[in-house]
Amino acid sequence: IYFLTLTIKKWYYLFDRHNRWNILAGSLEYCHSNKDLKLFGFVFMLNHIHLIVSSPDVAGFIRDFKRYTSRELRKNISQTEPNVLQLFLDENGKYEFWSKTNMPKLIETEKFLYQKMEYIHANPVCKNYVAQSDHWYWSSANPNCEIKVDNIWES
């Protein structure tokens, strides 16, 4: 089980408009249904996401997730905010939305798991987006979120 942080380049606020959170959600749901991804906790913020996951191929999941979401984000941005695309052009003329690092942390103890779960759920509260963690829609703390998580104790 890994704790991951995937960050948008330059920490640019990208997800908070034009249904971009739905791009992330759709990709996670696809990986969950088709690629043996187990999702135990998550939060989508404006420019990064935190995930607690397991998979037979975590590196492959990250690669595929970033590739697919990059393609979909590029389409979305070119239709809704074409000038923003220039912020993500690299020196080779290719678009890069995600930072290269994923900051993977292997979860080896129950204490560390609880610490990371509390951290991701508190993220929107710490940023003053909501007063309670379960009020942030794009979080495993919110029981009404469309993304459902796996029970870590049954895995």
pLDDT digits (tens, 9 = 90+) for 72-105: 999 999 999 999 999 999 999 999 999 998 889 9
pLDDT over threshold 80, residue 63: yes
pLDDT value, residue 39: 97
Task: Enter the tokens of residue 39.
Answer: 């999702």
pLDDT value, residue 155: 59
Task: Enter the tokens of residue 55.
Answer: 């998979």
pLDDT value, residue 13: 96
pLDDT tens for residues 11-52? Answer: 999 999 999 999 999 999 999 999 999 999 999 999 999 999
| Spatial distance between the Cα atoms of 2 and 107, rounded to a whole number of angstroms | 5
pLDDT value, residue 130: 98
Contact 139, 120 (CB under 8 A): yes
Contact 4, 103 (CB under 8 A): yes
pTM confidence score? 0.95
pLDDT tens for residues 99-150? Answer: 998 889 999 999 999 999 999 999 999 999 999 999 999 999 999 999 999 9
Q: For residue 146, how far is the Cα from the chain centroid? A: 14
| Spatial distance between the Cα atoms of 92 and 112, rounded to a whole number of angstroms | 40
Tell me how crowded residue 122 is: count the other CB atoms within 10 A of its CB. Answer: 15
Strands (E), 36-92: 38-44, 48-54
In one letter, which amino acid is 12?
Y
pLDDT value, residue 102: 85
pLDDT value, residue 108: 95
